[in-house]
Structure 1
Amino acid sequence: MSDNVFLSSSKIPSIESSTGISDDLDLGPIRDPLTTVIPMTIVYALILITGVIGNFITCLVIARNRYMHTATNYYLFSLAISDLLLLVLGLPQEIYQLWQKYPYAFGEVFCVIRGLTSEASTNSSVLTITAFTIERYVAICHPLKAHTMSKLSRAVKLIIIMWILGIVCALPIAYQFGIVYDFNNERLVPESAACSIKRTIPYFNEHTFTISSLLVFVIPVTIISVLYMLIGLKLRYSAAVRNKQIAANNTTDTEVNHRNGSGYYKYQSTKRPHDSKNSSNGSNSLSQRRAVIKMLTI
């Protein structure tokens, strides 16, 4: 019976108008049915717990072990921080709103912060993954340049720039968020408070989605796709070269018979030690490149 009470549409009496007549404002159900809310709460809670623990451990391990202070791990550290912000500032509020859609209980400031962190974290994550892919492309396809480009100081500067760029791109969107209310007979209804788009920016709001999609989705995804294709072609070429080297060096224990006027002479060719070493080095190089690709795809 109590469930039916929660599911029923809430009727909020409005403040009496100047005519003294009071109407009811239908705000809709305060929450969805329990068959929807409970499973969603469990899923969100599991994501929150595992995500916070996993990303916190990632940051802790990288920070406390100096041998893990590499450019690649710095990018992973940045991604973990981004995920933590999204989880801590986003999911608890989502869980709360599963059970109570209105009124919004966290205030104007937190509403704006939520919009800012959500957009900034997403933007920085996409940019970080793009930079990470560029780093791996240089390491695999241009290994000589990687020694000069893959420096910790350079990685730190790039991460800072990407976070600043992510925040700057998020500011116009965060500015539009705020607490909005429904009105009844031109009177504000406090119980209808919701965190949503409160204000708009002239000439910007019309193109917000297009600009945002272009900067943090279309361009990065295009760059990542092209670089992965080039990495794949490089690995394929390396495999072909290695197979040719193996075929050329497979002359061990090959017997050649030669006949002259006095009889048969048997010749046996042997592989030189450095041939085996070169073949092993080529195999190890290819294995390392494949290991990098496997790491990137996980």
Structure 2
Amino acid sequence: MSAFEGVEFENVSEVFNHFSDTQRTMNGTSVYYGNSGLKRDPLSTVIPMTILYTLILVTGVIGNVSTCIVIARNKHMKTATNYYLFSLAISDLLLLILGLPQELYMLWQKYPYAFGEPFCILRGFTSETSTNASVLTITAFTVERYVAICHPLRAHTMSKLSRAVRLIVVIWICATLGAIPLAAQFGIKYEEVDGLLNPESAECTVKRPINYAFETSTFIFFAIPITLICVLYMFIGIELHRSDRTINRNDQMTNSSTESGSQNGHLSAQLSESSPRLPLKGKQRVSIFSKNGSVYTKFRSRKSYRSTAMATSLRGSVNTSSRRAVVKMLGNYTFTSILNLYH
């Protein structure tokens, strides 16, 4: 039986008012409109989610704003790594400020959507842009960590501020362009009742589907980055493990050489006094003590010696800090991925 049977109306507004009143009478509360479903979930779900969203909003805004202020005001904090963190904080703020308040509103009232179609499209655009920028920034940071750990000499030429700034600009341009197809799908959708659109059923949702837009975006901004990140972190882990073994082996060799050197110190002194002073011309003299007490002396380029020493020093210095960076960035990427899947 139709809800309009036996009832006469003077205008369209009365039709929707009657429709709404009928739904209230049938359900006892103002929670349905036709096939749109519940206007909100039960309070047992809404209240805990509201508290959780509020905590995320407050702590997220305070934390990310503090990060931006600290990096912007301190000159010694202006490094390529911190610029990536600054970009990541901006993308998080964009999602927190423009996306989360609407999620809070829609927890309590799924429809009618009160902000209009332009803001609905803007919501989808900012959400996609922020997510894309976060993923690409983490990927760029991972590449930078990989170069710093696995190719430390090359990192000195690649990790420049100007290069990092240009890369961040490219990241945001790509994130913006990648968000346009998905944002274009959003709009205000109404439920149709007997050929008429019910304004009380307005929802911000996918209105104009574009074929393969979601699949393409997921492949470019999720599948490829997470695969690249996993592969690079695997190489980073292998390099850190290898560096640990090398450092431990060098420490053992140094200790044994020190003991051998103390036993044969008088022999080294005699050789030094009796040996003629030859011009090295950029050479570094290296004395090697053998187990039988013999001393061998060889010469190698000072440039080669400095390069090797620099590489060893860099590998050792980044060893501990790199582990912390790896764990931190894996945590950030996991959080971003979960948030992206939830939306």
TM-score w.r.t. length of structure 2: 0.71
Give the counterpart of 2:173 among 161, 164, 167: 164
Distance 1:200-1:29 versus aligned 2 partners, 3 A rule:
closer
Distance 1:116-1:99 versus aligned 2 partners, 3 A rule:
same
Give the CA deviation at 1:32: 1.6
Larger Rg: 2
2:243 is matched with 238
Task: Verify the 8 A CA contact 1:255 1:269 in the aligned structure 2.
Answer: yes
Alpha-carbon distance between aligned partners in 2 of 1:15 and 1:216, rounded to the nearest angstrom: 54
**Alpha-carbon displacement from aligned partner over 1:259-280 (angstroms, at most 9, x marks no partner):** xxxxxxxx8246x9x99xx99x
Give the CA deviation at 1:226: 1.0
Q: Equivalent pairs: percent with the same residue?
A: 55
Give the counterpart of 1:74 among 79, 83, 87: 83
Give the counterpart of 2:254 among 249, 256, 262: 249
Equivalent residue runs for 1:95-110 within 5 Å: 95-110=104-119
Task: Verify the 8 A CA contact 1:181 1:188 in the aligned structure 2.
Answer: yes
**Alpha-carbon displacement from aligned partner over 1:142-164 (angstroms, at most 9, x marks no partner):** 11111111111110111110111
**Alpha-carbon displacement from aligned partner over 1:219-257 (angstroms, at most 9, x marks no partner):** 11111111111111111222222222222222367589x
**Alpha-carbon displacement from aligned partner over 1:136-191 (angstroms, at most 9, x marks no partner):** 11111111111111111110111110111011011011011011101111111111
Alpha-carbon distance between aligned partners in 1 of 2:322 and 2:242, rounded to the nearest angstrom: 16
Q: Name the aligned partner's letter for residue 95 of structure 2.
A: L
Higher strand share: 1
Alpha-carbon distance between aligned partners in 1 of 2:202 and 2:56, rounded to the nearest angstrom: 27
Distance 1:148-1:241 versus aligned 2 partners, 3 A rule:
same
Distance 1:172-1:284 versus aligned 2 partners, 3 A rule:
closer
Distance 1:229-1:186 versus aligned 2 partners, 3 A rule:
same
Distance 1:226-1:98 versus aligned 2 partners, 3 A rule:
same
1:180 is matched with 189
1:224 is matched with 229
Q: Name the aligned partner's letter for residue 135 of structure 2.
A: V
Which ranges in structure 1 are unaligned for 5 or more consecutive residues? 1-10, 257-266
Per the alignment, in what secondary structure is the counterpart of residue 29 of structure 1? coil
**Alpha-carbon displacement from aligned partner over 1:12-67 (angstroms, at most 9, x marks no partner):** 9x99599x987655243322221111111000000000000100110111111111
Task: Verify the 8 A CA contact 1:252 1:269 in the aligned structure 2.
Answer: no
Equivalent residue runs for 1:34-73 within 5 Å: 34-73=43-82
Per the alignment, in what secondary structure is the counterpart of residue 30 of structure 1? coil
1:291 is matched with 321
Alpha-carbon distance between aligned partners in 1 of 2:168 and 2:9, rounded to the nearest angstrom: 56
**Alpha-carbon displacement from aligned partner over 1:194-241 (angstroms, at most 9, x marks no partner):** 00111133xxx2x22321121011111111111111111111222222
Task: Verify the 8 A CA contact 1:123 1:216 in the aligned structure 2.
Answer: yes
Q: Name the aligned partner's letter for residue 157 of structure 1.
A: R
Does residue 1:268 correspond to 2:263, yes or no?
yes
Work out the number of aligned pairs and report it: 268
1:4 is matched with none
Task: Verify the 8 A CA contact 1:235 1:290 in the aligned structure 2.
Answer: no
Alpha-carbon distance between aligned partners in 2 of 1:255 and 1:64, rounded to the nearest angstrom: 53
1:146 is matched with 155
Per the alignment, in what secondary structure is the counterpart of residue 251 of structure 1? helix
Alpha-carbon distance between aligned partners in 1 of 2:191 and 2:146, rounded to the nearest angstrom: 53
Alpha-carbon distance between aligned partners in 1 of 2:244 and 2:68, rounded to the nearest angstrom: 36
